[in-house]
């Protein structure tokens, strides 16, 4: 079975706080890809990052960083020094090579208050 769990339904922080969005996945595939997308109020999903199952290196892109740990089946996303523009719904997604389709988590709504 393929499943993505984002246990945090909604998070509220004050601007400049750091925030981590959790993502736990389940798959029997040995080859798979993990993604994070941002969905602002306009509705359009914006790609943030893709990781394949063979690349456990953490990644940093500006204020964004991702921690991929196969041992705990987690792919967490941290925003450092959050800004109001970071307010959106964030989705974690899994693409398994055998199932050949995307499975999305339920999303985490992030509210960044000034």
Partner 1 sequence: KAGVTQTPRYLIKTRGQQVTLSCSPISGHRSVSWYQQTPGQGLQFLFEYFSETQRNKGNFPGRFSGRQFSNSRSEMNVSTLELGDSALYLCASSLAAPPTYEQYFGPGTRLTVT
Q: Which residues sit at the interface with partner 1, rule CB under 8 A?
A: 33, 35, 37, 42-47, 50, 91, 93, 95, 100-107
Q: How far is the CB of 104 from partner 1 (least distance, A)?
A: 4
With respect to partner 1, which residue has the nearer C-beta, 68 or 91?
91
How many CB atoms within 10 Å of residue 94? Answer: 25
With respect to partner 1, which residue has the nearer C-beta, 11 or 45?
45
With respect to partner 1, which residue has the nearer C-beta, 33 or 64?
33
Buried b (16+ CB within 10 A) or exposed e, 10-27: ebebeeeeebebbbbbeb
Which helix (H) or strand (E) segment is 7 a member of?
none
Question: Phi and psi of 85, rounded to 5°?
Answer: -70, -10
Q: How far is the CB of 47 from partner 1 (least distance, A)?
A: 5
Strands 24-26 and 32-39: unpaired
Q: How far is the CB of 95 from partner 1 (least distance, A)?
A: 4
């Amino acid at each position: 079975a393929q499943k993505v769990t984002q246990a945090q339904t909604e998070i509220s922080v004050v601007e400049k706080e750091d925030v981590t969005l959790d993502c736990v996945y389940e798959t029997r595939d040995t080859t798979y890809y993990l993604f994070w997308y941002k969905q602002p109020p306009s509705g359009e999903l914006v790609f943030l990052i893709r990781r394949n199952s063979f690349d456990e290196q953490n990644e940093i892109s500006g204020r964004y960083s991702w921690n991929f740990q196969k041992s705990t089946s987690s792919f967490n996303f941290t925003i450092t020094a959050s800004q109001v523009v970071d307010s959106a719904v964030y989705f974690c997604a899994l693409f398994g090579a055998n199932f050949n389709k995307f499975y999305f988590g339920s999303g985490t709504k992030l509210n960044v208050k000034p």
